[in-house]
Amino acid sequence: MDSWFTVEKIDNETYVISEYKHWEETHCYLLIGIDKCLLIDTGLGVGNLLEVINRLTDLPVEVVVTHVHWDHIGGLKYFKNIAVHDAEKEWLTNEFPIPIQLVIKNLIREPCDFPTYFNKDNYEIFKGQPTAILQDNDIIDLENRKIEIIHTPGHSPGHICLYEPDKKYLYSGDLIYMGKLDAFYPTTNPYEFMKSIDKIRRLAIERIFPAHYSLSINVEIIENIDKAFKDLFYSGKLAHGNGIFYFENFSIHI
């Protein structure tokens, strides 16, 4: 198996495939169904994610991206069935909103033991046509498990979380994790981010599976992030350009 990736088993039907060697520490999630699998995000595109998945299952794979950012769509080149939220389909088919030069700068901004076959000068942002368009409250049916699409804009216009009510799993993308929550880019919206956190906090959640960093994340962080955003809002600080605000195990960059 490609040593770039780390594979961990969450339960008998769920795997997390991580890129711990990179500073982003991205996570993709493979949900095993009856006749097909669901892959949530595809990481940086440094290694061949499909080869890893083929060692875990022989079922066909459908991909859902939590949002169309470079560190989530990098591996889309290996897959045919791709679903994105309606608000970001143009980013996938037409023009990615961040220049490739800035993407590569972010990719290599910290020392990293990239595999020998990877050449940053050949790095490209995936561009293609999605095979499915997602909306809020859509259901992805894997027969043995049902996954709800929850539109959670703020980090990006079409950001989604995926919720599995039977297991009480939340796949939170870049909405919730232990690290710096980014709401400072021109395409972000801090106020919508706050509303999305409030939307998520109303769900019955027992485990959070973020797109970055530590997987040992307590569900209490949702309430803490919710309070932090609301405190910034009511103090008049929830606006672009106000900088980074630090909390116990996360920060908010606006």
Span 172-198, pLDDT tens digits: 999 999 999 999 999 999 999 999 999
User: Confidence band (pLDDT; 50, 70, 90) for 98?
Assistant: confident
Give the chain's mean pLDDT: 96
Residue 138 is predicted with a pLDDT of 98
| Residue 227 maps to a domain | no
Residue 1 is predicted with a pLDDT of 54
- Tell me: pLDDT of 163 over 90: yes
Residue 99 is predicted with a pLDDT of 86
Percent of the chain with pLDDT over 90: 94
| Residue 194 maps to a domain | no
- Tell me: pLDDT of 12 over 70: yes
Domain membership of residue 150 as a residue range: 6-178+203-219
Into how many domains does the chain fold? 1
| Residue 190 maps to a domain | no
- Tell me how many degrees the CA angle 159-164-172 measures, rounded to the nearest 5: 35
**Helix or strand (DSSP H, E) at 163:** strand 160-164
Q: β-pairing, 37-40 with 61-64? A: parallel
**Helix or strand (DSSP H, E) at 66:** none
Structure tokens at 40: 């949530």
| Residue 56 maps to a domain | yes
What single letter denotes the amino acid at residue 212?
A: H
Residue 95 is predicted with a pLDDT of 79
| Residue 224 maps to a domain | no
| Residue 134 maps to a domain | yes
What CATH number corresponds to the domain at position 64?
Answer: 3.60.15.10
Range of weakest confidence among 12-16, 86-90, 116-120, 133-137: 116-120
Percent of the chain with pLDDT over 70: 99
**Helix or strand (DSSP H, E) at 106:** helix 100-107
| Residue 67 maps to a domain | yes
Sheet containing 139-141, strands listed edge to edge, beginning at the edge strand earlier in sequence:
139-141, 146-151, 160-164, 169-173, 207-210
* CA–CA distance, 252 with 178 (Å, rounded to integer): 11
- Three-class SS of residue 5? coil
CB neighbours (10 Å) of residue 137? 9
Residue 58 is predicted with a pLDDT of 97
Question: Averaged over 1-27, what is the pLDDT?
Answer: 94
| Residue 250 maps to a domain | no
pTM for the predicted model, two decimal places: 0.96
